[in-house]
Chain A
Amino acid sequence: MIKAILIFNNHGKPRLSKFYEHYNEDTEQQIIRETFHLVSKRDENVCNFLEGGMLIGGSENRLIYRHYATLYFVFCVDSSESELGILDLIQVFVETLDKCFENVCELDLIFHVDKVHNILAEMVMGGMVLETNMNEIIIQVDAQNKMEKSETFIFQSPRQDR
């Protein structure tokens, strides 16, 4: 099971945080800080797996991360997930974001964090992997976005582009 998915930049600023287990607000922020601290210390050419920090379950859980340009994508998982499989999953996630946003960069994630949540919701549900086929995910996300757009047109409410 995936316990949490975190995206933060090189300075530790959170760009997306999704927890699949319950922690209170303070603990969530502490986990983000602790994870950033652990991950940012790592060299570029070491392996992408770490033991989880104390707040998120310690040595029972692992942090699997990938560093893309200015962003760290960190998945915190327990022992039932395959480490190499999760690495591939992160790759699929980032490639999907790339397709949806066209050459995605950090700014896209900053200004469209709700869209990123929607894409993620089509991939991981309740801490478990839902769909790994990039095209399938994009089709679903596009269809739902279209629905939103059509509503704004019909009901003449403020532009859905919030």
Chain B
Amino acid sequence: MPAPIRLRELIRTIRTARTQAEEREMIQKECAAIRSSFREEDNTYRCRNVAKLLYMHMLGYPAHFGQLECLKLIASQKFTDKRIGYLGAMLLLDERQDVHLLMTNCIKNDLNHSTQYVQGLALCTLGCMGSSEMCRDLAGEVEKLLKTSNSYLRKKAALCAVHVIRKVPELMEMFLPATKNLLSEKNHGVLHTSVVLLTEMCERSPDMLLHFRKVWILVPQLVRILKNLIMSGYSPEHDVSGISDPFLQVRILRLLRILGRSDDDSSEAMNDILAQVATNTETSKNVGNAILYETVLTIMDIKSESGLRVLAINILGRFLLNNDKNIRYVALTSLLKTVQTDHNAVQRHRSTIVDCLKDLDVSIKRRAMELSFALVNGNNIRGMMKELLYFLDSCDPEFKADCASGVFLAAEKYAPSKRWHIDTIMRVLTTAGSYVRDDSVPNLIQLITNSVEMHAYTVQRLYKALLDDISQQPLVQVSSWCIGEYGDLLVSGQCEEEEPIQVTEDEVLDVLEGLLVSNLSTPVTRGYSLTAIMKLSTRFSSVCLKISSRIKKVVSIYGSICLKMYSQACLTRANDLLDLLGGNDVVPVIQTTLPTKPASAGGELLDLLGDLSLSGGPAPAPSVPVSQPPFLLDGLSSQPLFNDISAAIPPMTAYSKNGLKIEFTFERANPNPNIAVITIHATNTTEDDMTEFVFQAAVPKTFQLQLLSPSSNIVPALNHGSVTQVIRVLNPQKQQLRMRVKLTYTHKGSPVQDLAEVNNFPPQSWQ
């Protein structure tokens, strides 16, 4: 067999592939060659093959058949083999395979190898992916190496110990004696990893922390090391941009933070050095700022004296003015952490923070927004709100929901006056209305209800807003509700806060009717507007007959559809509706003035609903007992409505396969002829029920589709019933209606899925 190709050959070949499929082919070919080479137990080329396998693994191709080969490489005597073998183990193996346990013996031997680089490889691998069993078995070896004088091995052993402690926390005690001398090392690599080890031990065990604080009194030792680093002057070995080993400085500062937290003595011992670092560090490069940042975090976290804390916050304030975005980012993050404890100090930088709202960087904007909300208080609410509302206007959509919620919360807590509060809410609803969370609508309604003296003002402003724009659903919902409740105030022009507008009852009804008709309104919004119309029918006292005939027309068109929506979306409102219709005793849903002519208004409404409930049957007696609500609503959902109109459009069978038959029946939604209302009826002729039935539909781009909830998800067997569902299709361009349907259901225990095209729509349905 010819020698397997070299890794770089393989890489070169793969790079010539022009498509994903070509690449896959090459890889598969090479994998086959590698597999047969592995089978031949070829020692010479094993490491080359595994190297290639690792490359292919990086590209995303499966490589698990190489796992055992890695083990063989690790067991080899050659350094080259071991190197690739251990790399392979780290990339391909993890604790979930049993194979890795076989490595334990090899690692043990290699930890005691004569060559330090082999020992290093073993430590590295154990420290990366050693399981708890392996760690338990080998902890002793690691501990031995922690005491060696070889700094190369000592630093690796320290990090390996961290991994062992993470996997088997009980073994922490074992490493304690070895750590005693770690800090007296001169080698920075060892110092660095030792600090990491000590940090890990302190974070994991409060006892250990106490021990380090009180018994070993680590703090002075760390302070001394830090001092040497700062004062030592230029040291070419450890210099990074003019600062001596900034990485080590940052690590020590972090450990000091943990030691000083909630401990007065330790905190006092480090006060001086922290002040020194804070004032002397060069800030022109990132390294200096990294150290300052860590220092600030430490000062804020320990029990430092107030002068030091003010110094820290001022450093953060300076960071905010820095040109470097990264610095501004960390400053905002830190200020967010400290704003609770040092509120006043952070307030001083409020204007800078608010400026950051205008930054182009998304991460900075988000933090500035969070921080701004945290800084709002009774004194600055007006100014801050102005800035935040301006931000809400211009920010990206991803922020709008959070910002709107924040504004509502802040306004609730600190609003200086009710009018200001309502103005603020209005502003949010009109600028970011579509992003406001769903639960805000009931909260706002609650708020408006409670501000009794503002009702006239509120309803007027909301009405004016509706005239401008009906696309933002929360705004529309709140406005409809208000108009329904306080429509009488609106029409009577009673507003005190601003110039009252002249509005007639007809105009109000026009607006509400417009909401029902509009394609922009969701079913919930339609529910709100229908309720508002209902309420107004009892409040608007003038020309009851004229108004009620308009309402009758509206409800006759939308009532069936809306009531169907009610049965799923809004049962309480439906019950209110029934109360209204319940006959002569009009249950007051309304809190203010009772209508002057309840009986006739109730009766007429009853009549028109009576028309709907039985298509073609005799009208029911006017006093429909309230105890029968389910019948009224259920009866509507499964019968074809508007028989007179639907006679013009014949029904059609859209799908019939495997016993499932789906029929479409049509209605035309007056007055908008562009909307076709299709009701699907699904029936099942087989002997078993079809459960978890889901009907989905898609239409070409020029159409818009709305699918309402189905009557149920079980299509009973042997035509014992049907599932119905309403589809509304908007066809403004009057194009030929086409639909693709997807059906999923479970039949006889197995899932069934089918896709179908429906093209046989009768021309009357879309012309």
Chain A interface residues toward B at CB < 8 A: 14, 16-18, 20, 22, 25, 29, 43, 45-51, 82-85, 87-89, 92, 110-111, 113-114, 117-118, 121, 125-133, 135-136, 140, 143-144, 147-148, 151-152, 155, 157-162
One of B44-52, B505-513, B684-692, B720-728 at the interface: B44-52
Q: Which B106-146 residues have a C-beta within 8 angstroms of A?
A: 115, 117, 120, 123-124, 127-129
How far is B95's CA from A20's CA once the two chains are assembled, in angstroms?
A: 13
B657: CB under 8 A from chain A? no
Report the minimal beta-carbon distance from A41 to chain B, rounded to whole angstroms.
10
In addition to A85-B246, A140-B117, 16 A-B residue pairs with Cβ atoms within 8 Å of each other are A16-B58, A20-B128, A22-B129, A25-B57, A45-B360, A82-B254, A82-B294, A84-B326, A85-B290, A87-B286, A92-B240, A114-B7, A117-B87, A132-B240, A147-B117, A161-B6
B58 — which chain A residues lie within 8 A by C-beta?
14, 16-17, 113
Report the minimal beta-carbon distance from A11 to chain B, rounded to whole angstroms.
13
Is the pair A148, B48 in contact by a Cβ cutoff of 8 Å? no
How far is B192's CA from A132's CA once the two chains are assembled, in angstroms?
A: 9
Is the pair B45, A158 in contact by a Cβ cutoff of 8 Å? yes
A133 — which chain B residues lie within 8 A by C-beta?
188-189, 237-238, 245
Interface string of B227-262 (1 = CB under 8 A from A): 000000000011010000111101000100000000
A143 — which chain B residues lie within 8 A by C-beta?
117
Chain B interface residues toward A at CB < 8 A: 3, 6-8, 11, 15, 44-45, 47-48, 51-52, 54-55, 57-60, 62, 78-80, 83-84, 87, 91, 94-96, 115, 117, 120, 123-124, 127-129, 152, 155-156, 159-160, 162-163, 188-189, 192-193, 196, 237-238, 240, 245-248, 250, 254, 286-287, 289-290, 293-294, 325-330, 360-364
Is the pair B237, A135 in contact by a Cβ cutoff of 8 Å? yes
Is the pair B250, A162 in contact by a Cβ cutoff of 8 Å? no
A85 — which chain B residues lie within 8 A by C-beta?
246-247, 250, 290, 294
Report the minimal beta-carbon distance from A12 to chain B, rounded to whole angstroms.
11
How far is B558's CA from A8's CA once the two chains are assembled, in angstroms?
A: 57
How far is B246's CA from A92's CA once the two chains are assembled, in angstroms?
A: 12
B55 — which chain A residues lie within 8 A by C-beta?
113
Question: Which one of A25, A87, A111, A121 has the highest number of Cβ atoms from chain B below 10 Å of its Cβ?
Answer: A121
How far is B240's CA from A84's CA once the two chains are assembled, in angstroms?
A: 14
How far is B88's CA from A118's CA once the two chains are assembled, in angstroms?
A: 12
Contact of B44 among A118, A131, A157 (CB under 8 A): A157
Is the pair B159, A88 in contact by a Cβ cutoff of 8 Å? no
How far is B363's CA from A50's CA once the two chains are assembled, in angstroms?
A: 7
Is the pair A130, B80 in contact by a Cβ cutoff of 8 Å? no
Is the pair B78, A129 in contact by a Cβ cutoff of 8 Å? no
Is the pair A125, B62 in contact by a Cβ cutoff of 8 Å? no
Contact of A130 among B48, B189, B248, B364 (CB under 8 A): B189
**8 interchain pairs, CB-CB under 8 A:** A14-B59, A18-B91, A126-B163, A132-B240, A147-B115, A152-B80, A155-B78, A162-B52
Is the pair A132, B51 in contact by a Cβ cutoff of 8 Å? no
Is the pair A88, B326 in contact by a Cβ cutoff of 8 Å? no
Q: Given that A45-B325, A88-B240, A151-B78 are known contacts, is A162 also in contact with B51, CB under 8 Å in the complex?
A: yes
A129 — which chain B residues lie within 8 A by C-beta?
192, 196, 247
How far is B367's CA from A83's CA once the two chains are assembled, in angstroms?
A: 15
Is the pair B155, A131 in contact by a Cβ cutoff of 8 Å? yes
Contact of B159 among A47, A125, A140, A144 (CB under 8 A): A125
B286 — which chain A residues lie within 8 A by C-beta?
84, 87-88
Is the pair B79, A147 in contact by a Cβ cutoff of 8 Å? yes
How far is B46's CA from A157's CA once the two chains are assembled, in angstroms?
A: 11
Contact of A46 among B52, B117, B363 (CB under 8 A): B363
A88 — which chain B residues lie within 8 A by C-beta?
240, 246-247, 286-287, 290
Report the minimal beta-carbon distance from A66 to chain B, rounded to whole angstroms.
10
Q: Nearest CB to that of B128 among chain A residues?
A: A126
Q: Given that A88-B287, A130-B193, A151-B79 are known contacts, is A49 also in contact with B51, CB under 8 Å in the complex?
A: no
How far is B8's CA from A151's CA once the two chains are assembled, in angstroms?
A: 20
How far is B248's CA from A22's CA once the two chains are assembled, in angstroms?
A: 28
Is the pair B196, A128 in contact by a Cβ cutoff of 8 Å? yes
How far is B499's CA from A135's CA once the two chains are assembled, in angstroms?
A: 78
Q: Which 10 A-B pairs have the closest CB atoms?
A: A84-B290, A47-B325, A126-B127, A46-B361, A162-B7, A132-B247, A47-B329, A29-B60, A22-B94, A126-B163
A47 — which chain B residues lie within 8 A by C-beta?
325-326, 328-329, 361, 363-364
Contact of B127 among A17, A125, A136, A140 (CB under 8 A): A125
Report the minimal beta-carbon distance from A139 to chain B, rounded to whole angstroms.
9
How far is B128's CA from A131's CA once the two chains are assembled, in angstroms?
A: 16
Number of A-B contacts (CB under 8 A): 168
How far is B437's CA from A12's CA once the two chains are assembled, in angstroms?
A: 36
Question: Which one of A29, A92, A157 has the highest number of Cβ atoms from chain B below 10 Å of its Cβ?
Answer: A157
A162 — which chain B residues lie within 8 A by C-beta?
6-8, 47-48, 51-52
How far is B128's CA from A147's CA once the two chains are assembled, in angstroms?
A: 23
How far is B58's CA from A59's CA once the two chains are assembled, in angstroms?
A: 26
Q: Given that A82-B290, A82-B294, A114-B54 are known contacts, is A160 also in contact with B162, CB under 8 Å in the complex?
A: no
A147 — which chain B residues lie within 8 A by C-beta?
79, 115, 117
Is the pair A84, B159 in contact by a Cβ cutoff of 8 Å? no
A48 — which chain B residues lie within 8 A by C-beta?
325-326
How far is B55's CA from A158's CA once the two chains are assembled, in angstroms?
A: 19
How far is B87's CA from A47's CA once the two chains are assembled, in angstroms?
A: 33
Is the pair B360, A46 in contact by a Cβ cutoff of 8 Å? yes
Q: Given that A83-B326, A131-B189 are known contacts, is A110 also in contact with B11, CB under 8 Å in the complex?
A: yes
Q: Given that A20-B128, A111-B8, A133-B237 are known contacts, is A118 also in contact with B83, CB under 8 Å in the complex?
A: yes
Q: Given that A126-B160, A143-B117, A147-B115 are known contacts, is A84 also in contact with B192, CB under 8 Å in the complex?
A: no
Q: Nearest CB to that of B238 among chain A residues?
A: A133
How far is B247's CA from A92's CA once the two chains are assembled, in angstroms?
A: 11
Report the minimal beta-carbon distance from A124 to chain B, rounded to whole angstroms.
9
Is the pair B48, A84 in contact by a Cβ cutoff of 8 Å? no
Contact of A144 among B83, B94, B326 (CB under 8 A): B83
B79 — which chain A residues lie within 8 A by C-beta?
144, 147-148, 151
Q: Given that A46-B363, A111-B8, A162-B6 are known contacts, is A22 also in contact with B293, CB under 8 Å in the complex?
A: no
Is the pair B11, A130 in contact by a Cβ cutoff of 8 Å? no
Is the pair B115, A131 in contact by a Cβ cutoff of 8 Å? no
Is the pair B329, A25 in contact by a Cβ cutoff of 8 Å? no
A18 — which chain B residues lie within 8 A by C-beta?
91
Is the pair B245, A132 in contact by a Cβ cutoff of 8 Å? yes
B83 — which chain A residues lie within 8 A by C-beta?
118, 144, 148
Report the minimal beta-carbon distance from B349 to chain A, rounded to whole angstroms.
19
Q: Nearest CB to that of B86 among chain A residues?
A: A121
How far is B56's CA from A17's CA once the two chains are assembled, in angstroms?
A: 12
Q: Nearest CB to that of A135 among chain B residues?
A: B237
How far is B190's CA from A45's CA once the two chains are assembled, in angstroms?
A: 37
Q: Nearest CB to that of A110 among chain B residues?
A: B11
Q: Given that A84-B293, A88-B246, A126-B127 are known contacts, is A131 also in contact with B192, CB under 8 Å in the complex?
A: yes
Q: Given that A46-B362, A129-B247, A162-B8 are known contacts, is A148 also in contact with B80, CB under 8 Å in the complex?
A: yes
A158 — which chain B residues lie within 8 A by C-beta?
3, 6, 44-45, 48
A89 — which chain B residues lie within 8 A by C-beta?
247
Is the pair B289, A84 in contact by a Cβ cutoff of 8 Å? yes
Is the pair B128, A125 in contact by a Cβ cutoff of 8 Å? yes
How far is B370's CA from A51's CA once the two chains are assembled, in angstroms?
A: 15
A29 — which chain B residues lie within 8 A by C-beta?
60
How far is B54's CA from A144's CA once the two chains are assembled, in angstroms?
A: 20
A135 — which chain B residues lie within 8 A by C-beta?
237
How far is B328's CA from A47's CA once the two chains are assembled, in angstroms?
A: 9
Contact of B293 among A17, A82, A121 (CB under 8 A): A82
Is the pair A87, B247 in contact by a Cβ cutoff of 8 Å? no
Q: Nearest CB to that of B94 among chain A residues?
A: A22
